[in-house]
Amino acid sequence: MIRFVTLNEGKYREVSGMLEGAGFECEMLAIDYPEIQCDTLEEVVKSSMAQLTGKIEGDFLIDDSGLFISSLGGFPGVYSSYVYQTIGLEGVLRLLQDVENRAAEFRCCFGLCFEGRNVLFVGGVQGMITQEKRGEGGFGYDPIFVPAGAEKTFAEIPTEEKNKLSHRGKALEKVLEFLKEQ
């Protein structure tokens, strides 16, 4: 049984779908923990795991993700959550008004505490920021992100399809490989 520590139901839907599809039981643990501000997702995950160690029984998984926009020097990156809650999608689109280079990358870092050992797994997906919001599915920045080689935003495709392309799906494939080897 893997406990996925998150308050985000969208993330849980994606992660539980993949874990259960691979035969692993999964449970959502809605614990709020302060995320310290760091320069990288990996540092955020390491610090979060240190805070959670000893507070959760058994194996657990956490996820920190961010959207890195090239023309903004990687912003919002590790500040993605704050930016989403403050200026939101409209604000990000405004920052990119008349900007030609719309390249961006979504990155995800999972921290897995497995039998007392902490292991990190990362995944990323390149793509473009749209001119306007499109789609009703997904969560967060999904309505403004089109993965490379596709035409639809993450909010316009079903969860299973997003999982095949996404930063989270790629990082979770590595988690699954690790779990299968144990």
Q: How far is CA 62 from CA 4, 70, 100, 108, 156, in A?
A: 6, 26, 35, 10, 26
142 contacts ligand IMP (rule: CB under 6 A): yes
98 among known catalytic residues: no
Q: Which of 139, 159, 174, 176 binds ligand IMP (CB under 6 A)?
A: 139
In sequence order, which ranges of 39-166 are alpha helices (DSSP H)? 41-52, 80-86, 88-95, 159-165
84 binds ligand IMP (CB under 6 A): yes
The only residue of 66, 111, 123, 169 in contact with ligand IMP, by rule CB under 6 A: 66
- Segment interacting with ligand IMP (CB under 6 A) among 49-57, 93-101, 114-122, 132-140: 132-140
Marked catalytic residue, from 59, 63, 64, 98: 64
Beta strands, E only, the chain: 2-5, 26-29, 60-69, 103-114, 117-129, 145-147
- Pick the closer one to ligand IMP by CB: 32 or 98: 32
Cβ neighbours, 10 Å, residue 37? 11
Q: Which of 140, 157, 163, 170 binds ligand IMP (CB under 6 A)?
A: 140
